[in-house]
Amino acid sequence: MIRKIARPMLASVYIADGADTLLNTQAHVEGTEVVLDRIRYVLPRKYAKRISSDPELVTQIIGGTKVGAGSLLALGRAPRLSAAALAAVTVPTILARNAFWETQDSEEKRNRRNGFVTNVALLGGLFITTVDTEGKPGVKWRATKAAQQGKKQVQQALPTKSETEKMTGKASDWFQDTSEKVSEYAHVAQDYVDDNKDDWIKTAKDTATKATGKASAYAHIAQGYLDDNKDDWLKAAQKNTDTAKKGAVKAASKAQEKANFALKVADETTGRAAKKASKNANKLQNQADKSLNKAQKKLKKFNV
């Protein structure tokens, strides 16, 4: 309940000051320009160049920020963020209006000092508001609590020492049982081989004997077939040999006839046609010679 009263009271100061700044901008431009010059003097040159050179615009921005953030604080909307914004724009206001160390007039110095103290007090109230969580856990506390909760859940998920030992014992028992079963199966297989190897050897010998007998029978059949048909095969081979001899002689005779005819044509013709006929006769004669040589080779082969 106290927050609903205190926040509008604190915000009213800044809302009124911001409204006055917007309505009477020219009255506050000089102070803003002084503050901007001091900021440029303190900052490095590359950052000082980025500071706005329009003090009137900066004054309006500061006034608008005070009105907007003050209104949000009074309504209780984002109070911590709005209080931080008001604290940020209060500092240049103090330097612009309440720099009591810059004046020599005693009355003005006293007024500036009173304003300085008042604004500092208000700034303290803003700082308190920025860290006010309304009884709710802060970000740091919530982060720490979340980390502790996560650590606890991880520890709960991990197996305890007794569970680990139990799992190890089960795995050891399983491996031992498996090893015993494998050994038992191996003995059973060995006994089965010992009991049946004689039968397997006998079966293999019988199969080999049967195969040998069949092979011998097939050999006798093949020999009988060869004896029955060798005379017919020999006659057929001789007949084929005679046919081949006749074909070779006939081919050689035919080639020689062509060569003789071409030679005769060459003798009967004259001029260019005679040359062509003579060339053709020579070509045919070579072919006839080759056919004759081939026939002679075949005849020699068959005689052998």
Q: What does the pLDDT look like over 122-140, one tens digit per residue?
A: 788 787 877 766 655 555 5
Q: What pLDDT was estimated at residue 304?
A: 46
Predicted model pTM: 0.41
What is the spatial distance between Cα 28 and Cα 47, in angstroms, rounded to a whole number? 24
| pLDDT > 70: percent of the chain | 73
- Predicted local confidence at residue 197, as pLDDT: 75
The reported pLDDT for the residue numbered 48 is 79
| Spatial distance between the Cα atoms of 57 and 207, rounded to a whole number of angstroms | 114
pLDDT of residue 286: 83
Residue 21 has pLDDT above 70, yes or no: yes
Q: Give the helix ranges, DSSP H, for the chain.
A: 2-23, 25-42, 45-48, 55-75, 79-97, 106-130, 139-157, 161-268, 271-303
Other beta carbons within 10 Å of 23:
9
Stretch 113-127: mean pLDDT, rounded?
82
pLDDT, tens digit, 9 for 90 and up, residues 203-258: 867 876 776 677 577 767 767 776 777 777 677 766 766 666 666 667 767 777 77
CB 97 within 8 A of CB 117: no
The pLDDT value recorded for residue 248 is 66
Question: Read out DSSP for 52-72?
Answer: -S-HHHHHHHHHHHHHHHHHH
For residue range 94-108, list pLDDT tens digits in order. 777 777 777 778 888
Instruction: Please provide the size of the chain in residues.
Output: 304
- Alpha-carbon distance 223 to 196, whole Å? 41
Lowest-confidence region among 6-10, 42-46, 84-88, 129-133: 129-133
Please tell me the predicted confidence (pLDDT) of residue 116: 82
158-197 pLDDT per residue, tens? 555 566 667 777 777 776 777 777 677 767 778 777 888 7
Mean pLDDT of the chain: 75
For residue 17, pLDDT over 80 is answered with: yes
Cα Rg of the chain (Å, integer):
63
